Amino acid sequence: MRKIAMLGVGYVGLVSGTGLADFGNEVICVDIDAEKIRKLKQDVLPIYEPGLLELVQKNVAQGRLSFTTDLKHSIQNSEVIFLALPTPSGPKGEVDLSYVFNAVDTIARVINGFKVIVTKSTVAVGTGDKIRDHLLAQGVSEEMFDVVSNPEFLREGSAVGDFMRPDRVVIGSRSEKALEIMKEIYRSLYLIETPIVATDIHTAEMIKYASNAFLATKISFINEIANICEKVDADVQVVAKAMGLDGRISNKFLHAGPGFGGSCFPKDTLALTKIAEGVGLHATIVEAVIEVNRLQKLRVVDKLLALLPDLKDKVIGILGLAFKPNTDDVRDAPALTVIEEILARGGRIQAYDPEAMDEMRKHFPDIKYVASSYDVMKEADALIILTEWNEFRGMNIDYIKSLMKNPILIDTRNIFDPETVMEKGFRYDCIGRKIENRARITGEQKR
């Protein structure tokens, strides 16, 4: 197996580096954040991801995985260098590749033998070519390196399983030598007959964007269908189930809710529109997906206002801050929009999430964070469920009502049965499900 340097120990780098070590490779994970590396050496992970800590501990104990801040040593003592670095959105939505090219500059200065340089993070189409040109311009001989695109397809909350049992591995390369090295790195996956998609670099880079944009499209589509269902007295859950039984559609990502968030879909859909603009096109469908998602988050507040028109000094309980369960990630989470809108109307927030409260404090340090799900409901004028953590599904409806000042419940994840909740005396709304005497959203603001 191969010696690998994983540059960047964020979400992608840590999961990928640990997974590659578990495949039998020797992996050193590198980051310039000394505190992060110090904590990793003490088994303290910078992210919450089920199953990851145990996998890290196993591979560290077996000598295949290590952590360091020594970038030069890691590059010179590795055959394959993965770039798992941040690629945030720039001021106009374009991909900011500054972290990537800072690393490439370092590689150019210290390279001491043939290296395969692999982009693991999501990068703009054409980045592989730019990396190659950048290295050549700095005097690195083309015999000293190959550039490969190997995009990640990790779902937060399920990333360990996604890496160990992927639907496919995409390898974009112009070199047969680099392709064979990459196949050797992933050889363990041959045992479970994982498809290897070998292609050119541009196509590999595009596969990542196309995949994420399509999944985001399914989410925005079913949310738009849910909104129509509310107006025509149909049930989106039954609609989605019937749609999903069609093999051409499938049931994945057809769950109506308050909109998508996280580190990938918002950033990647916006980046794809900029890639299209750069070649003189308009990604019309993707642009619509982004707008539908923006409005869906605001629609949660419209539902609240329909049941509680005056939010001034009202206590609103928020259950769930992460953009999805089993992660502490709040990037572009619906909770960010909902909390901001409620505070702007004079409301007061008390919130709970099993993992994401520390992250949300970075955005809203002054709202009230409580110790348990039931604490959110105490003397609340309304309750909004924004993340479908399993522990929320089994909550006692009668007890919830006894704790609240006003029994108003906005269930954006459709975890409760509407008839049961309303029989208990709640004023209730959800996303796209049939409700007798639904409080119609009236006087919606133009966004």
* Residues forming the active site: 264
CB-CB contact of 303 with 441 (8 Å): yes
CB-CB contact of 12 with 119 (8 Å): no
Report which of 147, 146, 145, 187 is spatially closest to residue 169, judged by C-alpha positions.
187
Q: Which residue has the tokens 């260098």?
A: 81
Alpha carbon distance 153, 122 (integer Å):
10
- What are the tokens at 123? 């990068």
* Positive/negative CA dihedral, 249, 251, 252, 258: positive
Angle, CA 118 vertex, CA 92 and CA 205 arms, to 5°: 45
Alpha carbon distance 375, 149 (integer Å):
47
CB-CB contact of 398 with 424 (8 Å): yes
**Phi, psi values for residue 147, rounded to 5°:** -110, 135
337-369 in b/e form (b: 16+ CB < 10 A) is bbbebbbeeebbbbbbbbbbbebbeeebeebeb
436 burial level (CB within 10 Å; 0-12, 13-18, 19+): exposed
